[in-house]
Structure 1
Amino acid sequence: MAMVYSWCTPYPGRHLFQIANLHMKHLLKATPHILLASAMAFGLVACGKSEDKKVATQVAAKVGSEEISVHQINQVLNNANTKDATPDTVKKMSREVLEKLIDQQLAISQATEKKLDRSPDVVGQIESAKRDILARAYVQQLVASLPKPTAEEAKKYYAEHPQLFSERRVFNVQELIMPNQEGLAEQLGTLNKAGKSTEDIANYLKGKDIKFNGGAATRTAEQIPMDLLNKLQPLKDGQSLLAQTPQTITLIHLASSKTVPVDEATALPRIEQFLGNQRANEAIASNMKGLRQSAKIEYMGEFAKSDAAPAVSAAASQPAPAAKAEDQNKATLEKGIAGLK
């Protein structure tokens, strides 16, 4: 019987380095143009309310009667994580941020003059931004209270996952992908066990008039779900296995491979980052589950007619614009290890 499992099924710890790398890459590459998108949310909430003017000891610029404070500039820069930037770079970024804040204030003034701040659509967007900011602040406070992963925990993770680090491989595979039909996995398993080549199996499928797609791919260890990686890791070049989902069956033939290890010293900082993200995701999910259990939630109207949706995950419970936590984990690990090669 061939080994049958899913090539596509994700696992929570699969893409370890992607978390650190993607997060840092996003922050280090963030521009004032991007960062002002979040600042705009604060600006919109205060739009048209002169009594809510900020109190600032320093004023960087005045746009009409409205002041732009140094504090506003610093708030945007703080989101850019400029701790490693040179003083000249920070000064240049401050100027760019100020110019964008001026543009923003000009747009806000025009919007207020045209009474756009009273339109139902804009009011709805302002309320949505406010809800998102508050929800994000709660999640950030929750995460900030969590203990940081220790070096010992990171070393343990490194030792327990040699297939991702010390014995990490890059796999060149050939694939045959076809719809999952009753009994087909067993038939392909028999052919695979008998040592039939990929070409032989392709001809078999043609003879049975079973549609399939073929292709080749190069996959690093961190790009492969852990349950599948544990099966693929022991294979020698020239061997094959089957991967199955409810919709598809994939024959994976290992054409060749090479070992590309990641040493402990290089891996540990990113492992700590990964473990921190993993701990945060679990804490958010647990906290949100508790909040749902203690809150009185009533589904109304058409939503009361069907079964209530299951409790949201840690990723889904975070503010809407944020990428799903698990997806971020996967993306960060994959790109992180790739950057270590």
Structure 2
Amino acid sequence: MRHISAKLALPLLAIPLLLSVTACGGKDEKTASQVAAKVNDDEISVHQINFVLSRSGANAPTPEAAAKLRREVLDKLVDQQLVVAQAVEKKLDRSPAVVMALEAARRDVLARAYIEQLSAAVAKPSTEEAKKYFQEHPQLFGERRIYNIQEVVFPTAPGLKGEVEAQVAAGKPIEEIAAWLKSKNIKFAGGGATKPAEQIPLELLPKVHALKDGEGMVVEAPQTITAMRVIASQAAPVTEAEALPKIQQFLFNQRAGESTGKELAQLKAKAKISYAGEFAGTAPAAPAAAPAAAETAAAPASDASIEKGVAGLK
């Protein structure tokens, strides 16, 4: 059960903060069937156990394992309540740092609840939409490859890209290009890595996919230039049946993120926001992009692979 215990650790650590969100409403009257344990004058309810289990994602394969898991959660909640009681007795709940942490947790829970409510109203992508995405991105799925890539990254400078492109086109190894950069006193970073398709930026993937083993390319960003060469690659396709559920989740997360972004823009437009002190007169920072999807990884047998192929590449 060690792997299950690890899953329970984070939700249990979060319980004191989450309890603070509802503490202002007073204690709920619990029936005898709702009380799982009493720790001095405090009660631990069945609902608390269910909450921890729902957040942990732990699954028990048998009824016996489920009962053992619920008891494990209860024991941890008992230990936690003993520690919480000591913290309150020592008035730690009144310390500025703890008060601020509790308020931050309250704000986070409320914000997440509103975002979840918005997401619940978002239409789920159809199977047809997922199939269309699958067909439009063969590099991530049907023609997916795992690449052994060598690359070197260095700052942009006038004329530098053209010189490096000529070296890459001539077939020079990345090590030689790095040595040339060093001779020019140009700082660089680089090395070799094995990267599945989903770990390559989506806008760059078609170009990398088109490279044969031994071929290279140069990519320029606003502040950096990257010279890369595909040393070797191997096919690692993902079937449509494996990919579709993950694609649907990705598309849903994408829509939910767009919905949240629009709602936030509308709220900002209606709100009266002013900045003071060191922030007065400065432009607000650009809003962070909403996460498009849950991460996933790379082997046809691994859910994480397919999701990341859809989610992590921007």
User: Larger relative CO (CA 8 A, sep 6+): 1 or 2?
Assistant: 1
**Residue matched to 1:226:** 202
**Residue matched to 2:73:** 97
How far is 1:161 from its partner?
0.4
| Structure 1 residues 201 and 66, CA gap change in structure 2 (3 angstroms) | closer
**Residue matched to 2:136:** 160
The residue identity in structure 1 corresponding to 2:302 is G
Alignment length (residue pairs): 300
Paired with 2:17 and 2:192, the residues of 1 have a C-alpha distance of: 46
Which of 178, 192, 217 is residue 168 of structure 2 equivalent to?
192
Structure 2: any 5+ residue segments left out of the alignment? 306-314
How far is 1:83 from its partner?
6.5
**Residue matched to 1:56:** 30
Paired with 2:169 and 2:267, the residues of 1 have a C-alpha distance of: 51
**Residue matched to 1:262:** 238
Q: Could you say what secondary structure the match of 2:38 adopts?
A: strand
How far is 1:203 from its partner?
5.3
Tell me if the contact between 1:238 and 1:254 (Cα under 8 Å) persists in the aligned partners: yes
User: Percent identity of the aligned residues?
Assistant: 48
Which of 138, 142, 148 is residue 114 of structure 2 equivalent to?
138
**Residue matched to 2:311:** none
| Structure 1 residues 53 and 202, CA gap change in structure 2 (3 angstroms) | closer
Tell me if the contact between 2:198 and 2:298 (Cα under 8 Å) persists in the aligned partners: no
- For normalisation by structure 2, the TM-score amounts to 0.85
The residue identity in structure 1 corresponding to 2:277 is G
How far is 1:118 from its partner?
2.5
Q: Deviation string for 1:122-158 (max 9, x for gaps)?
A: 2222222211111111111111221222111111110
Is 2:276 the counterpart of 1:313?
no
Paired with 1:174 and 1:308, the residues of 2 have a C-alpha distance of: 39
**Residue matched to 2:312:** none
The residue identity in structure 2 corresponding to 1:71 is H
How far is 1:287 from its partner?
1.2
How far is 1:168 from its partner?
0.8
Tell me if the contact between 1:171 and 1:254 (Cα under 8 Å) persists in the aligned partners: yes
| Structure 1 residues 28 and 263, CA gap change in structure 2 (3 angstroms) | farther
Tell me if the contact between 1:169 and 1:259 (Cα under 8 Å) persists in the aligned partners: yes
Paired with 1:253 and 1:92, the residues of 2 have a C-alpha distance of: 53
Paired with 2:172 and 2:8, the residues of 1 have a C-alpha distance of: 58
| Structure 1 residues 76 and 208, CA gap change in structure 2 (3 angstroms) | closer
How far is 1:173 from its partner?
1.9
| Structure 1 residues 231 and 46, CA gap change in structure 2 (3 angstroms) | closer
Structure 1: any 5+ residue segments left out of the alignment? 1-26, 316-324
Paired with 2:288 and 2:133, the residues of 1 have a C-alpha distance of: 24
How far is 1:296 from its partner?
1.3
How do 1:108-187 residues align onto structure 2 when only pairs under 5 Å count?
108-187=84-163
Tell me if the contact between 1:222 and 1:337 (Cα under 8 Å) persists in the aligned partners: no
| Structure 1 residues 84 and 282, CA gap change in structure 2 (3 angstroms) | farther
| Structure 1 residues 199 and 60, CA gap change in structure 2 (3 angstroms) | closer
Q: Which moved more, 1:90-99 or 1:206-215?
A: 206-215
Tell me if the contact between 1:177 and 1:212 (Cα under 8 Å) persists in the aligned partners: yes
| Structure 1 residues 161 and 117, CA gap change in structure 2 (3 angstroms) | same
Q: Could you say what secondary structure the match of 1:52 adopts?
A: coil
How far is 1:42 from its partner?
2.7
How far is 1:34 from its partner?
1.6
Q: Could you say what secondary structure the match of 1:170 adopts?
A: strand
Aligned-residue RMSD, C-alpha: 2.7
**Residue matched to 1:3:** none
